[in-house]
Structure 1
């Protein structure tokens, strides 16, 4: 493990020979509330993660027992423009420009990374308060767009998988103070848990427990609070072992298709797959199955065609 400190409010630890980055909010006395240092630190950390060819999985974590309590209202009260985002990026042709602008397409959102282009999976490891802007931080994803337009705005994502421990508390707590959701909460929450449940949370500002969040689909896994980061690292290590280019392709196609019409979504999926390097090596990759990889409900990363199957664990 190696450690690199960006702005003091955000820390980066690299695990698994640099393949896994734990990007931590480090303002425990403020329950990791977002100020300018956190905003810039998160943006810079995830941009560096995207650029690093070795890095595969990021884990977003809050030190001190809380994920993030939202915007630092003390900072906002003294300077309302402190967390203003930079302008969003407009593309004329996504397919033509992806290669040349990756990973430089970006704009900084209120919470730092809500509009940053990334091609790699991220896990949110959530304990304690995950509320208001902190909830938006955990929700960050790619907004669906229409294939019928030749230009669109890309608001990119952060957390593909959310793991919570039993201390986690979710909610639109900014409702109490007259502070609106300003970085994707009203767009992303309904898409994740449905309009009815989202409206209940958004209108009332109620607190949602970890078990209720699991039922709603707000999180996908629960962990013991003593092993949250350990479980997240274990999941990250498993993801790193998977054929990564194929994983990236399917992940991006899923986001691009979500919320769009069936036919253009299927066409996009097929076209992007056929044009990818993954498709060109598909036959060779399929041979791994004949050599025992992944059979009988098991998975073990393919190491060598002559190796025998060894022990593995299911997640």
Structure 2
């Protein structure tokens, strides 16, 4: 059986995770793809040579979100609300928790439609870049559902409550250009250029020291949640570690040597 998630690591510290289930347009439920994501994150977390992760989809879609056939199973009488609650907590809800904890910067390269949980997966990443063919839809309400995977936490933080409410209450799709205007994505590029753009960005990230990147990401994430004094205390501790790193010492020495050379 082919993997649902392809794992590729280049020699510059960039891991690309490509969802590879064309039959379901890279659905995130009804399969083992969440387990494969979590296994990949554990592998990345343990590899301190990794400085960035790109998440993308094969085929025409980024991710269709929930598998509709799987939803049909969940409507059967034997699946009680209690059992379904447990299934969510032990299933797809592990994905946002794992991505939130992942120390390495993440880029969603959204190649096509990102629907429902697929939209939320893109929102879980630190940076989103989109193909001109991308669409984003928080479409749960159209199926009589809610965002069971964390979308209601991520989306307002990215685009504000009013626009998040519009997407959530209508379920309507947002084009790549609209997503750019709303700040949901950082940039929109032609489809053929998407991965080149993603790798270019990832390599600019990995050109920086890996430990500083990981601590910077942790501070950004904590800054969304914590009090200022708590985040400042964490920043002081992280900065103390950074000041003692070999990378910082080399950067300072290089700067001083270049300045001295200019004065000659």
TM-score by length of 2: 0.85
Contact 1:166–1:222 (CA<8 Å) still a contact in 2?
A: yes
Pick closer, same or farther for the CA change 1:51–1:266 going to 2, 3 Å: same
Q: Secondary structure at the match of 2:23?
A: helix
Aligned to 2:172, what secondary structure does the other structure show? coil
Please tell me whether the aligned partners of residues 9 and 25 of structure 1 are also in contact (alpha carbons under 8 angstroms). Answer: yes
- 1:85: how far off? 4.1
Query: Paired residue for 1:242, among 190, 202, 208?
Result: 208
Q: 1: CA distance between counterparts of 2:47 and 2:229?
A: 35
1:276-287 map, 5 Å: 276=241, 278-281=242-245, 282=248, 284-287=250-253
Where 2:165 maps in the other structure, the secondary structure is helix
Say whether residues 1:84 and 2:79 are aligned partners. Answer: no
- Higher RCO, 1 vs 2 (CA within 8 Å, ≥6 residues apart): 2
Judging changes above 3 Å, is the alpha-carbon distance between structure 1 residues 111 and 65 closer, same or farther for their aligned structure 2 residues? farther
Contact 1:83 1:110 in 2 (8 A): no
The number of residue pairs the alignment matches comes to 247
| CA distances 1:195-242 after superposition (whole Å, capped 9, x unpaired) | 111111111111111111111111112221001112111211221111
Counterparts in 2 of 1:11 and 1:235: CA distance versus 1, 3 Å: same
Q: Compute the displacement of 1:163 (Å).
A: 0.7
Alpha-carbon distance between aligned partners in 2 of 1:160 and 1:290, rounded to the nearest angstrom: 33
CA RMSD of aligned residues (A): 2.4
How far did residue 287 of structure 1 move? Answer: 2.4
Question: 1 or 2, which has the higher helix percentage?
Answer: 2
Q: Runs of 5+ in structure 1 lacking a partner?
A: 1-5, 87-107, 141-158, 296-305, 307-315
Question: Does the residue aligned with 1:137 lie in a helix, a strand or coil?
Answer: helix
Distance 1:109 1:214 in 2: 31
Structure 2 Cα separation of the partners of residues 51 and 85 of structure 1: 27
Alignment of 1:1-315 (within 5 A): 8-16=3-11, 19-34=13-28, 35-79=30-74, 81=84, 84-86=87-89, 109-110=91-92, 112-116=94-98, 117-140=101-124, 159-274=125-240, 276=241, 278-281=242-245, 282=248, 284-292=250-258
Structure 1 runs, 4 residues or longer, greater than 4 Å off: 79-83
Deviation at 1:161, TM superposition (A): 0.8
* Secondary structure class of the residue paired with 1:110: coil
TM-score of the pair, normalised by structure 1:
0.72
Take 1:132 and 1:178, find their aligned partners in 2: how far apart are those partners?
Answer: 12
- Long gaps (5+) in structure 2: none
